[in-house]
């Protein structure tokens, strides 16, 4: 049996990557929309309602409009926008989040795909909060370094056309108003009382992302060590097919002393690291922002929802 799948917004970066994943599978029947009818609401509604699973790769407002076009209760929607990520009526599409999350994804017809920065951040904080090693009230800071594909087709075009522009050769911090769109889900699904001070940086490379959370040991419960945090990750992510908890403070994790942001590219994997000493700790998560940070995560949630092997069509 082939599952009917439609990608609404298939011309965007995430939509195109989703089509790459889906077209390679013989258990998927892709429903395609003619290019000249991409904005035809009636045709979109027909395809949405004909699908077993429909991915929404659209801006927030357009995603809400697409949801309103659906009247088939059997269609599962997986939305890649920020519109529903903290909506209690939608399951957060991070199977590794907590016990029972896979059951929630399997049971629902509404799945909100996590943001790329948020996925890495939440996977660092949530296990520690639940283990009692990171108080929910802790004021956190975090920074992310990401490839320019995270900015979508316009930013990709700007980087590819501006190879001689010296501004594009250097890291470029952005969202300096401290109101990044991923902050609500970082707080809610990270298990925190308040959002972090978050500063993302785009670099002169296509894809790859790492989020770093620096901590003073004095912020943590008495007696907490880097080893204790590492052990909490090992316990939380035991047997997870797409998560590697890297050896504690192992210099083999580095490339000549440098951290390789692109080390998970072309996979659906997340690598987690704990670096530190008696006074300070750095928690780091690395992923492919187009893989586990976007399209790969959406496919993983689809697999879970449909009762398939979770790793089908994905590389660890």
Contacts by 83-86, CB closer than 8 A, 24 or more apart: 83/112, 84/110, 84/112, 85/112, 85/114, 85/115, 85/118, 85/184, 85/185, 85/188, 85/189, 86/184, 86/185, 86/188, 86/189
Active site residue 57: no
Q: How far apart are alpha carbons 283 and 273 in whole angstroms?
A: 6
Q: Please give the C-alpha separations between residue 139 and each of 2, 53, 197, 226, 269, in angstroms, as whole numbers.
A: 48, 39, 8, 18, 28
In the set 57, 76, 116, 264, the catalytic residue is 116
Q: How far apart are alpha carbons 15 and 96 in whole angstroms?
A: 23
CA–CA–CA angle 102, 103, 108 (5° rounding): 100
- For the annotated catalytic residues, the residue numbers are 116
């Amino acid at each position: 049996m082939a599952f009917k799948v439609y990608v609404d917004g298939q011309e965007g970066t995430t939509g195109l990557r989703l089509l790459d994943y889906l077209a390679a599978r013989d258990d998927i029947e892709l429903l395609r929309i003619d290019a000249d009818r991409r904005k035809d609401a009636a045709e979109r509604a027909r395809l949405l309602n004909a699908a077993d699973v429909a991915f929404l790769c659209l801006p927030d407002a357009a995603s809400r409009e697409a949801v309103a076009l659906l009247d088939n209760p059997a269609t599962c929607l997986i939305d890649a926008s920020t519109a529903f990520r903290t909506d209690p009526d939608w399951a957060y599409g991070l199977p590794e989040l907590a016990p029972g999350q896979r059951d929630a994804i399997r049971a629902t017809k509404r799945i909100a795909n996590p943001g790329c920065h948020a996925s890495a951040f939440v996977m660092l904080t949530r296990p520690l909060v639940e283990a009692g090693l990171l108080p929910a009230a802790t004021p956190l800071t975090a920074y992310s370094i990401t490839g320019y594909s995270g900015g979508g087709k316009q930013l990709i075009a700007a980087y590819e056309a501006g190879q001689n522009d010296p501004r594009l050769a250097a890291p470029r911090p952005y969202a300096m108003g401290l109101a990044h769109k991923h902050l609500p889900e970082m707080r809610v699904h990270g298990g925190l009382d308040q959002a972090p001070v978050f500063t993302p940086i785009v670099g002169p490379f296509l894809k790859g992302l790492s989020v770093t959370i620096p901590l003073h040991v004095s912020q943590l419960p008495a007696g907490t060590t880097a080893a204790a945090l590492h052990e909490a990750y090992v316990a939380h992510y035991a047997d997870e097919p797409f998560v590697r908890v890297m050896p504690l403070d192992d210099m083999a994790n580095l490339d000549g002393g440098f951290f390789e942001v692109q080390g998970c590219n072309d996979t659906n994997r997340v690598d987690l690291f704990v670096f530190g000493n008696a006074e300070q700790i750095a928690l780091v998560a690395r992923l492919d922002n187009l893989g586990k940070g976007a399209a790969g995560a959406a496919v993983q949630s689809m697999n879970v929802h449909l009762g398939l092997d979770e790793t089908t069509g994905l590389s660890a």
